[in-house]
Amino acid sequence: MLMGLVLANLTHLPAGGTLLAMNVIRRESLAWGAPATSVPTATIPYYAWPRQPLPDVLVEPLPDVEVVDGGARFKIKASKVFPFPETCLPDEAFAREALEVDLADPASIAAFMSEFGLLTDRGGYPLRALPDPMKVETLFGVRRGRPDYASLGAPSEWPSPQPPDFFVFIIPAEAAAEHLRVLRTLVGHWRAHTDGGDVTKPWTEFGYDLVTRGLLRESHWPEESAWFLFSWYLNTALEVFHAHLALPWGIFPSTPTTYQALCLQLFNHIVEGAGFRICANETCGRFFWRQRGRAKYRQFHTTGVRYCSRTCARAQAARELRRRKKGAST
């Protein structure tokens, strides 16, 4: 069923033309509907459109995110004044700030959202940007495993009466955490791919029942399944990005969440052919591709770069200088 779907998608792609950016994930076995051991050598092509990075998306910082119900939920105030206050995500936030949030600590998630905006949808269905679990069941015949998953998608509560100057809404803390968990899995998948590692591992660690049980653990095609999930999750998040006009009313369906803006950063990273480096500052060790604070906005050096930021470069240089001085004096 799964492979049939993938094959159907591939056969509908145009065979050439200006819209395609084609790459090959790997050059090994690929066969549809047969065990992996008996297949001829083939390739898995992937196509990205557009092939250039999309413009940055602005997100809405939410200064007032309150952890309530013993950490189970967030009570959030957002501006009612259109246009809403907006800010750019820092470059590579998908691989930096978003990976540094402590998912077990609601206060850490709240702090992230205060600075960079809401991870979930604010409206009736917080999980809008994630694949529909019902579709998962229908397609693959697997039951979603996390017992609380359904409750995460429950409509937000809208306390009433609403104050005149801002919206107040409540979202389950776990729904916000789930978006970051998915993002980390997507980033982990892409990092494994660019490093020549195992792309199924991030999904297994993700522990989402449909993945481990339905698509990976019982699959003859764990790697293909992982790629299928990667594209499914990423594409669901990217669906929001299309040409549109925003109005003071009814704008929410076309307002990307911060999770979606982070996924767009990942997409841009992919179509730019970027990889990941580890910062050479001993006390940092962050993943990055471009060094921050080295040039004007969106002008980056990517070759010969060893540090994630100028700050790290200076810190390590100072450390090495201290060591040399110490070595010279003893």
Q: Which residues bind Zn ion (CB under 5 A)?
A: 279, 281, 284, 286, 308, 312
Task: Compare residues 51 and 319 and give the one whose CB is closer to Zn ion.
Answer: 319
Asked if residues 77 and 168 have their Cβ atoms less than 8 Å apart, the reply is yes
Nearer to Zn ion, 226 or 308 (CB): 308
**DSSP assignment of 65-80, as one string?**
EEEEGGGTEEEEEEE-
| Residue number with CB closer to Zn ion (181 or 191) | 191
Residues 6+ apart with CB under 8 A from 105: none
CB of 191 to Zn ion, least distance (A): 16
CB of 205 to Zn ion, least distance (A): 24
Q: How far is the CB of 281 from Zn ion (least distance, A)?
A: 4
Q: Which residues pair with 10 in a beta bridge?
A: none
Q: Choose between 160 and 283: whose C-beta lies nearer to Zn ion.
A: 283
Considering beta carbons, is residue 101 or 308 the nearer one to Zn ion? 308
Q: How far is CA 254 from CA 11, 154, 216, in A?
A: 30, 20, 33
Question: Shortest approach of Zn ion to residue 315 CB, angstroms?
Answer: 8
CB nearer to Zn ion: pick between 67 and 274: 274
DSSP state of 215: I
Q: Which residue has the tokens 């297949």?
A: 39
Block residue for tokens 């395609």? 20
Please state the closest distance from residue 279 (CB atom) to Zn ion, in A.
3
Which residue reads 């259109």 in tokens? 82
Nearest-angstrom CA–CA distance, 112 and 264: 18
Task: Report the b/e string of 101-123 with b at 16+ CB within 10 A.
Answer: beeeebeebbebbebbbbbbbbe
Q: How far is the CB of 224 from Zn ion (least distance, A)?
A: 35
